[in-house]
Amino acid sequence: MIDLDNDFLSPDHRQVREQLRRFIAQEIVPEAPAWEEEGAIPAAVFQRMGALGYLGLSLPAEHGGSEMDALGSVVFGEELGRSGFGGFMAAVSDHADIAAPVIRRNGSPEQQAAYLPDIIGGRRIVGLAVTEPRGGSDLTRMQTTARRDGDDWILNGQKTFITNAICGEIFVTVARTDPDARGAAGFSLFIVEKGGRGFSTGKAFKKTGWLSSDMSELFFEDFRVPGRNLLGEEGKGFYLMMQGIEHERLSIGSQCVGMLERGLEITLQHLKAREAYRGVLWDLQAIRHEIARIASEAAAAKLLLYHAAARKSRGEPVRLEAAMVKATLPELLKRAVDVFVQAHGAQGYMRGSEIERLWRDTRPHSLGGGASSVMLDEVAKLL
Ligand SMILES: Cc1cc2nc3c(=O)[nH]c(=O)nc-3n(C[C@H](O)[C@H](O)[C@H](O)COP(=O)(O)OP(=O)(O)OC[C@H]3O[C@@H](n4cnc5c(N)ncnc54)[C@H](O)[C@@H]3O)c2cc1C
């Protein structure tokens, strides 16, 4: 696919890409098939990535991060996606690039000092707990409540489909604090630490893909959270979450680009090597055109992603661009990976083949973080 590094990235960005790609090739890819069987990546992987500085790329330097801009997050997301292991990608990106930035954006200096060093160092794993059985795309239907009791908050409710629910110790959690409020008003954010009376997790979900990231439910039954763990202004939780939503959309778009490039790479290798008729499959125009179309569309979408990240890095608004990225790339990825599987024939349908895993692991991007139709609504609203 097109290489935009020289046009958009600084030497620091490129160095991170090079080092991260080498680290993933040497230390992740050989081990990850075993983690897929086990249903989670080991805690030691977070610690190793933390020690190498990969978990704090967008987080404050005073807590051990490197405060890179939005293009740094693009590099991070792409390289995780290129690993070809969606579970590894999800566990790590949810921790470092989805949940932790909510604490960075909204945490008081004391909260940041209490949590970010361990998160950046990979010593404690964090997740984002928003979705509920009755509140998915329509988050105003969330029913988890938090009521004041002296200095503390008492949480009641249930979260579901939470990545890192089992390996995680800290959850950025949304709950309604004003029972009389309607719609998006009256929600607040909390830093919830796992454990203690009234907190439990469900069984690990058996997912179709992302096998090496764990996922479960969180249950709160009169669970006590200290008052100091309210994150940001009371009653503004929904809006505070939405303020970071562009970061999340670009992060997901970056993972899609990484997966697309990896899928394209292995498909081209296969097509050029697979002998058929009087040559190889790559000689067939019907196949070449399909791949060429995917590659051209992917290049255009990648350019949109980099444009949005560059604007964001300059502090310019990107609400429309980020929604377009999230509306476009996951759908393109789904279509592309289907073509890649077809190009591999039966081999592409076999467990253990990289393209088969990619097929399963690309599916969640158009479901989570705002489903594609929700993104199209957002784009239409902004048009
Ligand atoms: C692998 C994976 C990991 C996840 N990790 C997390 C996590 O860590 N934390 C967390 O909080 N959540 C997580 N989620 C949950 C995810 O955020 C929700 O699945 C998502 O918000 C959609 O909610 P829902 O599944 O309840 O679908 P629903 O809200 O029931 O929607 C179902 C479908 O209806 C359609 N639809 C919805 N709204 C509209 C609309 N306005 N217009 C047209 N069509 C529409 C869409 O096609 C959508 O896919 C994860 C999900 C997956 C699959």
Work out the widest C-alpha separation in the chain, in whole angstroms. 80
CA 162 to ligand 1 center in whole angstroms: 12
Kind plus residue range of the DSSP H or E element containing 34: helix 32-38
Question: Which of 254, 298, 329, 244 is CA-nearest to residue 77?
Answer: 254
Count CB-CB contacts under 10 A for residue 266: 18
Q: Are 312 and 250 in contact (CB under 8 A)?
A: yes
**Run of H or E residues at 152:** strand 152-163
Question: Which residue from 188, 298, 299, 301 is spatially nearest to 249, judged by alpha carbons?
Answer: 301
Which residues fall within 8 angstroms of residue 295, CB to CB, at 6 or more apart? 1, 264
The tokens of 9 are what? 């990235």
pLDDT at 274: 98
pTM above 0.95, yes or no: yes
The pLDDT value recorded for residue 1 is: 82
Which residue in the list 79, 132, 246, 248 is annotated as catalytic? 248
At CA 224, angle to CA 221 and CA 228, rounded to 5?
145
Angle at 127 between CA 185 and CA 357, to 5 degrees: 120
Tokens of 258: 């990484």
CA distances from 13 to 5, 46, 260, 270, 278 (A): 9, 21, 20, 31, 45
Dihedral sign for Cα atoms in the order 210, 126, 10, 302: positive
- The H or E element that residue 188 is part of is strand 187-193
User: Rounded distance, CA 167 to CA 134, Å?
Assistant: 24
For the chain, how are helix, strand and coil distributed in percent, rounded to 5? Answer: 55, 15, 30
38 is catalytic: no
Q: Across-strand partners of 4?
A: none
Candidate from 131, 138, 212, 376 with most ligand 1 atoms within 8 A of CB, to mutate: 131
- Tens of pLDDT along the chain (383 residues) come to 899 999 999 999 999 999 999 999 999 999 999 999 999 999 999 999 999 999 999 999 999 999 999 999 999 999 999 999 999 999 999 999 999 999 999 999 999 999 999 999 999 999 999 999 999 999 999 999 999 999 999 999 999 999 999 999 999 999 999 999 999 999 999 999 999 999 999 999 999 999 999 999 999 999 999 999 999 999 999 999 998 899 999 999 999 999 999 999 999 999 999 999 999 999 999 999 999 999 999 999 999 999 999 999 999 999 999 999 999 999 999 999 999 999 999 999 999 999 999 999 999 999 999 999 999 999 999 99
Cα(74) to centroid of ligand 1, in Å? 23
CB-defined site of ligand 1, < 6 Å: 94, 127-131, 136-137, 161-163, 210, 215, 364, 367-368, 371, 373-374, 377
Q: Which residues contact 351 (CB under 8 A, 6 or more apart)?
A: none
| CA 137 to ligand 1 centroid distance, Å | 5
Return the pLDDT at 161.
98
